[in-house]
Amino acid sequence: MLHALARCVAFALLAAGFAPAPDRLAEEVQRCVALAADKQTSEEFSSSVRSSSVAPLQQVEADLAAGRRFAALHRFASLRINLEGVRYVDGLAADKRDEEAFEAEWKSVGERLARHGSRAAQLRGIANAALRAEAEATLPQAGILREASLEYARSTEPKFGLFYLGSALAADDFVDLCASLDVHSDKRPPSLRSVRAEIDALQQELLAAYKPPLSVERHSAFIGASSALKEARALDAQGRPYGALLRMLTAAARCEMLLDSSPAPTTEGLAYLIDSNATRIEAGDVDHSIAQVFLELARAEVAAAPGTSPPIAVAIAKRSLPLYFRALRPAEPTAEPARAEVDLTLVRWPFT
C-alpha cells in the first residue's frame, strides 16, 4: 500500500515537471554492483574480492527495495571499502610489484588522509544518530588500514598493500557518504554516555563461555564477537559514543548467539519481541535510529526465512535492542573495586 502510494506521488511529481531527488545511497550501491560485476581484470585477488561481494550486495539491494535503508547502509560499509580497495589497485598505472612505488604511494595516501584532519566537526554535524554512528565506527579504520598496509606489503606483495591503501581512503570518505545522506528530523539526538561498563560485562560473559567444547566448535564466532567488542572499546575510549554504541550492539548480538542455549522462541514470540521493540523505537521525540539499524537487520532475517526464528534475529530482539535502551539510562554505580585487567585479543587481520 505504502509502496503504491509512493509510486503515485513519484508519477505525479514527474507529470508536474519535478524530477525526483537523486537517491545517493542507491546510486552508490549501484556503482559498487557494477564494480563487483566488472570482469575486465584477470588478477586473481581482485576477481575474488569482486565475486565474493555479489551476493552480499544483492542483500543490500533487497534491503533498499524493502525500505530498510539503515540495514542497507550498515551492510554496505564493509563491502564498499573492499571494492574500493580493488578499484584503487586496478586503476594504478604504476608497477604493482615495485616496492619503492608502493612506499611512495603509502606516503601520498598518508598526506591525503592528513589533509582531511580528524573530521570531528563533520561527524558532529551529522544530525541523524545512525548515520553518525556508521561514520564514527568506520572512520578509524582508515588509519589502521593504512598503517597495516606497509607491513603487509613488505611481508607479502606490494599489490596487497595497495589494496589496503585504497580501502583506507574508502573508509575515510565513507564519512562524506553518511553526511550526504543526512536528513532533517524533528526528533532530538539520544543522550549518550560511555558504554565501557556494558562492554566489560559482555567481555566477562564471553570469556567465561570460552572453554571447550564451545570454544573449539565456535572459535570463529568467538573471534567475531571479541573483535566487535574491541572496536567498541576503542571507539568509547576515543570519545565516539555513537560508533561505540553501534559496535557494542553488534557484539551483543554475536555474544547472545554464543551464550544463549535456551530454545528459540516461536515465530509468533519472535514477532512479538520485534514489534514491541519497534513500538518503543518509534515512540517519543528521541532519534532512536541506531536501534532502528538492528530492528531492520532482524526484520530482514525474518523476511529471508519466513516461518522460522533466525538466530541473529532472535539475538537482536533478546539482547541488542534491550541493551540499547539500557545504555541510554544513566550508568549504574558499581560496588566492586577496580581490578587489574588483561587485554586479551583474538588475533585476525584488520577488518577482514
- Residue 133 near residue 56, CB atoms below 8 Å: no
- Tell me the pLDDT tens digit for each residue of 292-321: 999 999 999 999 999 999 999 999 999 999
Residue 94 has pLDDT above 80, yes or no: no
pLDDT of residue 181: 97
- Tell me the pLDDT tens digit for each residue of 314-341: 999 999 999 999 999 998 876 554 555 6
Residue 2 has pLDDT above 50, yes or no: no
Query: 5: exposed, middle or buried (C-beta count within 10 Å: 0-12, 13-18, 19+)?
Result: exposed
- What's the rounded mean pLDDT across residues 194-211? 97
Query: Residue type at 186?
Result: D
pLDDT of residue 39: 81
pTM of the model: 0.88
pLDDT of residue 301: 98
* Low-confidence winner among 47-61, 160-174, 327-341 (lowest mean pLDDT): 327-341
User: How confident is the prediction for the chain on average, in pLDDT?
Assistant: 90
Query: 255: exposed, middle or buried (C-beta count within 10 Å: 0-12, 13-18, 19+)?
Result: buried
Residue 43 has pLDDT above 90, yes or no: no
pLDDT of residue 343: 61
- What's the rounded mean pLDDT across residues 32-45? 87
pLDDT of residue 77: 98
Q: How far apart are CA 290 and CA 306, in angstroms?
A: 25
- Residue 314 near residue 301, CB atoms below 8 Å: no
Query: How does residue 348 score in pLDDT terms, banded at 50, 70 and 90?
Result: low
State yes or no: cis peptide before 213, omega within 30 of 0: yes
Sign of CA dihedral 38, 39, 43, 45: positive
* Low-confidence winner among 63-72, 153-162, 230-239 (lowest mean pLDDT): 153-162
pLDDT of residue 97: 79
**How much of the chain exceeds pLDDT 70, in percent?**
88
Query: How does residue 92 score in pLDDT terms, banded at 50, 70 and 90?
Result: confident
Q: How far apart are CA 91 and CA 84, in angstroms?
A: 10
Q: How far apart are CA 61 and CA 69, in angstroms?
A: 10
- What's the rounded mean pLDDT across residues 151-179? 95
